[in-house]
Amino acid sequence: MAKCTVSEHSSIPSDAAGNPLQIFRKPRRAKGYATGAATASSLPFQEGTVFVRFAADVSCHVSIGDDNDTATADDDFVAAGGEIIFARTEDQTKLSWVQA
């Protein structure tokens, strides 16, 4: 069974000069999911979520979209052990993914 993690973040920290750092603060919410070959979806994002990080221990195709969005083989590819970070817009309410 594949294991995936979706974490939500509201901002990226900055250094004393105001330059963004390439790290995240502790996530607002992190949720682990177990999924098989079928498509799975995250919970709806919390209000104020700006960045969404997806990580999985198997190769997946990932999509960020509205409640009706379903990932397909045409969406962003994430290799096993990899991650992808999305900068979310207001109309994007959840992630969906399917094993590659």
Give residue-wise pLDDT tens across range 33-88.
766 656 788 889 888 888 898 998 999 999 999 989 999 999 999 999 999 999 99
The average pLDDT across 2-17 equals: 84
Residues 21, 41: Cα–Cα separation, whole Å: 29
Residue 99 predicted with pLDDT over 80: yes
pLDDT value, residue 93: 93
pLDDT for 27 beyond 70: no
Instruction: For residue 27, give every residue at least 6 positions away whose Cβ sits within 8 Å of its Cβ, in sequence order, or none.
Output: 7, 8, 9, 53
Contacts of 56 (CB under 8 A, 6+ apart): 2, 3, 4, 5, 78, 80, 81, 82, 97
Q: Spell out a b/e string for 49-72, using b for 16 or more CB atoms within 10 Å of the CB, else e.
A: bebbbbbbebebbbbbbeeebebe
